[in-house]
Amino acid sequence: MKKQRILWMDIAKAFGILIVLIVHSGISLGPVTFYGGMFYMPVFFVLSGMTFTWREEESFRRFMKKKARRLLVPYFGYNLFLFLFFFVKDYLTAGKISREAFFPLAGILYSRNCLLETDAVRNVYFMQILNAPTWFLTCLFVSLMVFWIMMRAAGGSLKRLFLINSGVLFTAVLLRYFCPILLPWSIDCALYAVSFISFGKALEEYEIVEKLYKKPWTLLFLTAAFAGLSLVNGSVNMSVAEYGYSMVLYLIVGSLGSLLCMEASLFLEKHTGILSKGCAWLGRHTMPVLCLHLFVYSVIGTLLGML
């Protein structure tokens, strides 16, 4: 039986993708881009936890195939389109095929923006065909595989889940500080992002979003806490393992920001008609927007340059 879509969840996705579009456009909107940058990736992991359905009878293989169709098929499809576009473009420009023209395939397979941290003296930059945002799809896929294993080990119990999650988080911290290489398919980041998925599962289990909506003073306090802790933690970039001042602190900041984003989305659903439906429509189509927006930006920039 197909699940009924929840409007405010789609609106929350729209908030996240809008921040992505603003940040990647290079436009700085001060507090909007700074505070939005605190949750625009975590919110997608948190929502994945909220929509995750645990079925004890479902095998890991069946779950993996389902998520592969949802995440990996689009990942390789969009990346193949971008690779072929730039391959043909480079051939028409240079009049020959060079070995460098095949290098983007390594980036597609490794699915990471670079090999080392961004401040490394010598680095290898993989995803150079305007496909950098697609790292999220493989990262989410790995995160969900790990989360399924955690749920199986916990037997569906949230208490046991969070106990297991603490061990996974510890592993992610060790990888961040003792492994100099950014692992393929963002494995290190995926082990970290599982904590956001677990948080989302708890939100869904206890209906926290709906309950908090009726407590404006609590929401005001959480908003103040989010603003203050964000300033302490500083800017982040999960795609290259930059978590600001502290990985643990960013878990709190990212979770709070995601929760407040959902509360704002619920407010839009209840008090705005056409606007909320428009945002929800965008939220239902985040996949093509995420994968192709840099390409669209490039095309628009080229056209404007010609004019």
pLDDT tens-digit profile of 192-201?
999 999 999 9
Burial of 222 (0-12, 13-18, 19+ CB in 10 A): middle
Quick check: is 1 in a domain? no
State how far the Cα of 42 lies from the Cα of 205, in Å rounded to an integer.
18
Instruction: Give the other-Cβ count within 10 Å of 138's Cβ.
Output: 23
For the chain, the average pLDDT equals 95
pLDDT of residue 5: 80
Q: Is there a contact between 192 and 254 (Cβ–Cβ < 8 Å)?
A: no
State how far the Cα of 40 lies from the Cα of 13, in Å rounded to an integer.
9
State how far the Cα of 246 lies from the Cα of 116, in Å rounded to an integer.
19
Quick check: is 258 in a domain? yes
Quick check: is 21 in a domain? yes
Please name every residue paired with 125 in a beta bridge, in sequence order, or none if there are none.
Answer: 114
pLDDT confidence bin for 266, thresholds 50/70/90: very high
pLDDT digits (tens, 9 = 90+) for 237-265: 999 999 999 999 999 999 999 999 999 99
Which among 126, 98, 101 has a CA at the least distance from the CA of 112? 126
Quick check: is 2 in a domain? no
Quick check: is 225 in a domain? yes
Quick check: is 116 in a domain? yes
pLDDT of residue 306: 86
pLDDT of residue 3: 57
Mean pLDDT, rounded, for 21-43: 94
Quick check: is 259 in a domain? yes
Domain that holds residue 101: 7-306
Say yes or no to pLDDT of 2 above 50: no
State how far the Cα of 69 lies from the Cα of 260, in Å rounded to an integer.
31
State how far the Cα of 294 lies from the Cα of 114, in Å rounded to an integer.
17
pLDDT of residue 236: 95
Alpha helices in 59-134 (DSSP H): 60-67, 73-94, 103-110
In angstroms, what is the C-alpha Rg of the chain? 20
State how far the Cα of 234 lies from the Cα of 256, in Å rounded to an integer.
15
State how far the Cα of 307 lies from the Cα of 134, in Å rounded to an integer.
30
Total tally of structural domains belonging to the chain: 1
Q: Which residue has the tokens 């080392």?
A: 116
